[in-house]
Amino acid sequence: MPADTQQIMDEAVKLGKLVAQHPAIARYKEARRAVDQDSEATRMLGEMDRQIESLTRQAQAGMPVTDAQQQQLETLQNRIVSHIKIKALNLAQMEFVDLLRKVSQTIQRQVADVPQEGQPAAPAGGGGGPSISGLSK
């Protein structure tokens, strides 16, 4: 019997709750909280956002970015990436995104391996077929 949309959504809720229990999620939330509570980190990130926004508006107005502006942005970037709490957040975020990527790829493989009506099952190796930007690996 084919699954309906509501069944899929119900199972997605269950999967989401399961994923939320993974240690990578707890590490990400803790790292995010640590950065949010660090005034220096939030100040630097805010300044980075302001500088990027300002330079974007400047470029859209047809004015080039000066060497001094570029140097100032690079200096701020270097300070941000060397900040211990931001570094921990970046690592936790990479782990979090990697977990979500693995879950998504597993789902995509299942969708790609399901034979459609009138078609034989795909060989174990996968091979061709659409990808989820058409549904395959």
Could you state, in order of their start, the residue ranges of all structural domains in the chain? 7-113
- What is the pLDDT, as a whole number, of residue 1? 73
Q: Which residue has the tokens 């060397």?
A: 82
- What is the pLDDT, as a whole number, of residue 126? 47
pLDDT of 79 above 90: yes
pLDDT of 130 above 50: no
CA–CA distance, 35 with 25 (Å, rounded to integer): 15
CA–CA distance, 52 with 50 (Å, rounded to integer): 6
Judge whether 92 and 27 are in contact, CB under 8 Å.
yes
Q: Which residue has the tokens 């997605």?
A: 12
- What is the pLDDT, as a whole number, of residue 93? 97
Cα torsion at 114, 119, 122, 126 (round to 10°)? -80
Query: Average pLDDT for residues 17-41, to the nearest whole number?
Result: 97
By CB neighbour count within 10 A (0-12 exposed, 13-18 middle, 19+ buried), where does 3 fall? Answer: exposed
pLDDT of 128 above 80: no
Structure tokens that stand for 133 in this block: 């930007």
Query: Average pLDDT for residues 56-82, to the nearest whole number?
Result: 94
Helix (H) / strand (E) element for 51: namely: helix 39-60
- CA angle (48 as vertex; 42, 54 as ends), nearest 5: 135
Radius of gyration of the chain measured on its C-alpha atoms? 22
In the chain, pLDDT over 70 holds for what percent of residues? Answer: 82
pLDDT of 132 above 50: no
Q: What is the CATH number of domain 7-113?
A: 1.20.1500.10
pLDDT of 33 above 70: yes
User: 29 in helix, strand or coil?
Assistant: helix
Query: Average pLDDT for residues 64-88, to the nearest whole number?
Result: 94
